[in-house]
């Protein structure tokens, strides 16, 4: 594992519940029309596997492997697949920096909401490129936090988001990685690059805000708050503001995701 990054969301009950709300028909909609029955697909950073199982359905009778650094997530993904009767998906503990597969093993490599946490996206992309067969496709989706929409406007809640972004950067991630995808894919040698963006409009804003508040509190507890003038009391106040803000009767929290497709040279 790369030692220079820390996975900001963590694996609390709230974090896992937040990831489990995702599904392929929405979160992988940009990739699904390009998947064909019989393909071999790798999902990097599969988390609890709720997207992975939809990808497995799309490539049946092909197969899907989901990898995640965290054993608890691999166990959850196995449970998700078993509960949904998905037989063509298997899961392994592995890092995107060191994929335990020979060169040219997959037709498609997919990754959703992983790259914003990586300190070395180019190294991860070279590894993805290695395991793709000639002509194979990479499909990435990650947020770009500059596209956040929060309503009603609330300076304290907006400040809380800024603090969280600072924590993510301090942990080695990049909240703006979405807009870097085109350049990163190009520099890795991928061809026919296509970029799109979509909004993830959180249907459960209190859950999303609770995860953010939890992460800020945890980040502050570990003294990774980046702003020297931000003390613990202010952290507490920001989190209270975030939790107050979500109680507004007409609240909107939507996040921009950049989606990228690229192909390995034939």
Two tokens, residue 149: 């929409």
Q: According to the binding rule CB under 6 A, does residue 53 interact with ligand SAM?
A: no
Q: How far is the CB of 180 from ligand SAM (least distance, A)?
A: 17
Task: In angstroms, give the least distance from the CB of 115 to ligand SAM.
Answer: 9
Q: With binding defined as CB under 6 A, does residue 215 bind ligand SAM?
A: no
Alpha-carbon Rg of the chain, whole angstroms? 18
| 98 DSSP assignment | B
| 68 binds ligand SAM per the rule CB under 6 A | yes
* Residue number, 67 or 242, with CB nearest to ligand SAM: 67
176 lines the binding site for ligand SAM (CB under 6 A): no
Whole-number Cα distances in Å, 34 to 140, 178, 219: 13, 21, 39
Binding to ligand SAM (CB under 6 A) within 9-28 occurs at: 9, 19, 22
| Strand residues in 113-167 grouped as ranges (E) | 132-143, 149-151
CB count in 10 Å sphere of residue 121: 25
What is the bridge-based pairing of β-strands 89-93 and 63-68? Answer: parallel
Question: Torsions phi, psi of 10, nearest 5?
Answer: 70, -170
Does 217 help bind ligand SAM (rule: CB under 6 A)?
Answer: no
State the minimum distance, in angstroms, from the CB of residue 152 to ligand SAM.
27
Q: Which stretch binds ligand SAM (CB under 6 A): 93-101, 158-166, 230-238, 241-249?
A: 93-101
Closest by Cα among 174, 167, 158 to 221: 167
Give the interface with ligand SAM as residue ranges (CB under 6 A).
7, 9, 19, 22, 44-47, 51, 67-70, 73, 95-97, 112-114, 117
């Amino acid at each position: 594992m790369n030692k220079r990054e820390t996975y900001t969301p963590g694996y609390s009950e709230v974090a896992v519940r937040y990831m489990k709300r995702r599904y392929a028909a929405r979160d992988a909609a940009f990739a699904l029309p390009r998947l064909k029955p019989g393909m071999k697909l790798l999902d990097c950073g599969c988390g609890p596997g709720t997207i992975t199982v939809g990808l497995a359905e799309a490539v049946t009778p092909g197969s899907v492997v989901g990898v995640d650094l965290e054993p608890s997530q691999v166990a959850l993904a196995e449970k998700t697949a078993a509960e949904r009767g998905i037989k063509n998906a298997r899961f392994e503990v592995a890092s995107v920096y060191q994929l335990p597969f020979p060169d040219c093993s997959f037709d498609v490599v997919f990754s959703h909401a992983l790259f914003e946490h990586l300190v070395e996206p180019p190294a991860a992309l070279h590894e993805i490129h290695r395991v793709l067969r000639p002509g194979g496709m990479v499909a990435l989706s990650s947020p770009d936090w500059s596209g956040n929409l929060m309503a009603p406007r609330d300076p304290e809640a907006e400040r809380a988001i800024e603090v969280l972004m600072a924590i993510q950067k301090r942990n080695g991630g990049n909240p703006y990685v979405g807009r870097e995808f085109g350049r990163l894919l190009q520099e890795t040698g991928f061809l026919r690059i296509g970029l799109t963006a979509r909004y993830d409009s959180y249907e459960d804003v209190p859950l999303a805000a609770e995860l953010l508040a939890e992460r800020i509190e945890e980040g502050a507890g570990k003294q990774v708050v980046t702003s020297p003038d931000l003390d613990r009391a202010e952290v507490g106040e920001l989190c209270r503001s975030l939790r107050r803000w979500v109680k507004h009767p007409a609240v909107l929290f939507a996040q921009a995701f950049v989606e990228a497709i690229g192909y390995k040279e034939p």
